[in-house]
Amino acid sequence: MSKLDELKGNVKEAAGKLTGDKELQAKGFVEKTLAKGKELVEDAKDAVDGAVESVKEKL
């Protein structure tokens, strides 16, 4: 879902730049940035889960 949100943000940001709508451009930037943040959190969670499973296997 994060990739879709990031894409939506990119589209809004580009549309805002194209039309000169600073508010739409800013909303798109924020949406894109939040989506990237969510993706980073998901990646970190997956890494931690993998590390926990690895430790469990060694015990």
Task: Give the per-residue pLDDT at 31.
Answer: 97
The region of weakest confidence among 16-20, 26-30, 39-43 is 39-43
CA distance 48 to 35: 20
Mean pLDDT of the chain: 95
* Rg, the chain, Cα only: 17
CA angle at 29 for the pair 26 and 31, rounded to the nearest 5°:
110
CA distance 32 to 28: 6
Of the pLDDT bands very low, low, confident and very high (cuts 50, 70, 90), residue 49 is very high
Task: Give the per-residue pLDDT at 59.
Answer: 83
Percent of the chain with pLDDT over 70: 100
